[in-house]
């Protein structure tokens, strides 16, 4: 079912400061910050030869990452995203096996313009798991 690792996401309190760490200290290629109001975050992507790092900053009042940052004030690894060929088929298979899909269970368009879903961390080794159709 899962294929390529699409990205590893890091939640941060200050996305400009985090972007400067990756650009200046780690010498990485970074994108502009993009507000994603449907998801309650601002994102920056760090492009790597074999995958991407997604930097996330809370956007708006009820950002889904606000609690995480309250518990991890300097930031931390927030989720991991795998690619799947058919996100609804993957969802239906996982739900049939007892997995919990977050939100209303319907894929939303993610940062790459592709459908994404999130699976509850408690069902996947304590790791918030995102699927992206690719
Ligand atoms: C622009 C889209 C972009 C893309 O790639 O395309 C994105 O990635 S958007 C990313 C932001 N959106 C989301 O993260 C949506 C899915 N996340 C959620 O719905 C929430 O974050 C949720 C439900 C996973 C957690 O919400 P919250 O922290 O408010 O709930 P709790 O504090 O009650 O946590 C419940 C339970 O889960 C543990 N937890 C929370 N977050 C994580 C995490 N990132 N990794 C692992 N575990 C996590 C938390 O510690 C609680 O456990 P407990 O043992 O009960 O304390
Ligand atoms: Co993501």
Domain extent listing, the chain = 5-133
Residues 6+ apart with CB under 8 A from 45: 7, 30, 31, 52, 53, 54, 55, 111
Q: CA 62 → CA 33, 51, 106, distances in Å? A: 19, 29, 19
**Residue 29 neighbours by CB distance under 10 Å:** 10
pTM of the model: 0.98
Considering only CA atoms, which residue is closest to atom 14 of ligand 1?
A: 64
Q: Which CATH number fits domain 5-133: 3.40.250.10, 3.90.25.10, 3.10.180.10, 3.40.50.1010?
A: 3.10.180.10
Ligand 2 center–CA 97 separation, angstroms: 23
pLDDT at 47: 98
- Tell me how far the alpha carbon of residue 12 is from its chain's centroid: 12
- Tell me how far the alpha carbon of residue 89 is from its chain's centroid: 20
Mutate to test the pocket of ligand 1, among 43, 64, 103 (most ligand atoms within 8 A of CB): 64
The per-residue pLDDT for range 34-86, each reduced to its tens digit, is 999 999 999 999 999 999 999 999 999 999 999 999 999 999 999 999 999 99
């Amino acid at each position: 079912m899962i294929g390529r690792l699409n990205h590893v996401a890091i939640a941060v309190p200050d996305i400009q400061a985090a972007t400067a760490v990756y650009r200046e200290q780690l010498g990485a290629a970074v994108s502009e910050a993009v507000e994603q109001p449907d998801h309650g975050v601002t994102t920056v992507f760090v492009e790597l030869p074999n995958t991407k790092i997604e930097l996330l900053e809370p956007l708006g009042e009820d950002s889904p990452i606000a609690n995480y940052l309250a518990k991890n004030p300097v930031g931390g690894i927030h989720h991991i995203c795998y690619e799947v060929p058919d996100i609804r088929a993957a969802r239906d298979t996982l739900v049939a096996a007892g997995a919990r899909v977050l939100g209303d269970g319907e894929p939303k368009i993610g940062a790459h313009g592709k459908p994404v879903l999130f699976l509850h961390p408690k069902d996947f080794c304590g790791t918030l798991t995102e699927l992206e159709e690719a």
